Amino acid sequence: MSSERVQVKLGAALAMLGAVLALIVNPLHGDLPGDPEAAFARVAATASWGLLHLGIMASVVFLLGGLLGLSQVADGPLARALARLSVVVALPGAAVMLVGLAIDGFATKALADLWASAAGADKAAAFRMALAVEEVQTALFHTWAALFTGVPFLLMGLSGLAAGGRLSALAGRDRRDRRDRRAVHGRVWLPARAGPWPAVQPVRVHRDAVDAGRRRTRVAPVRSPGCRLG
């Protein structure tokens, strides 16, 4: 097995693993309340807050590996350029996302715990610090939403549809298979022999074995009453 084939298989496996992991940990994380105090209270009360973010970070790494592997599939110049561009955009996007998740999972958690346990002036100061850190994390969120979860996958999809992309090749193969299936069940009427009457011979066209990657058909005559086959 070639190294390119191994990269593609590994990339597909990593993409599936990252998607499944994201589907598990993201619902467990959920959306925080709009009120900052309620949001910090929930973060402070969630003991597994950091563990959830580690799971999300792992899904990001797996999805990035999937993009890197699947970018090897493209063959045509345009498809290959779009696939490589998706990786170029995804790399800084994933880096920003990992930093933002680390801030939200550990810095925000520490400040939320500090705010929840403080009293008086210390509580107000901890709240302001937590709020400032959360604003930084929100800014990073808008960046990674475009650079990782949006544009790279759009570019990879366009790469698959472009000339030389595997999606276009699969679509062409599907059209050929549909034509083959129609040929399998079709009938062709051919002249049987020259004579005073226009006798015809029905033949059935069906699929034969595949030899060296080329599909062949065999014509089998089917006798019918009233037809002179000679």
Residue 90 pLDDT grade (very low, low, confident, very high; cuts 50, 70, 90): very high
Mean pLDDT of 11-24: 91
Express each pLDDT in 163-206 by its tens digit.
Answer: 766 655 544 444 555 555 554 444 444 444 444 544 444 444 44
Q: Give me the mean pLDDT over the 199-220 stretch.
A: 47
**63-75: average pLDDT:** 86
What pLDDT shows up at residue 179? 55
Q: Categorize the per-residue pLDDT at 73 as very low, low, confident or very high, splitting at 50, 70 and 90.
A: confident
pTM greater than 0.85 (yes/no): no
**DSSP H helical ranges for the chain:** 3-29, 36-45, 49-70, 77-102, 108-117, 121-147, 151-161, 166-184
* Average pLDDT over the chain, rounded to an integer: 78
**108-152 pLDDT tens trace:** 999 999 999 988 889 999 999 999 999 999 999 999 988 898 898
C-alpha–C-alpha distance, residues 45 and 41, integer Å? 6
DSSP string, 83-140: HHHHHHHHHHHHHHHHHHHHIIIIIHHHHHHHHHH--THHHHHHHHHHHHHHHHHHHH
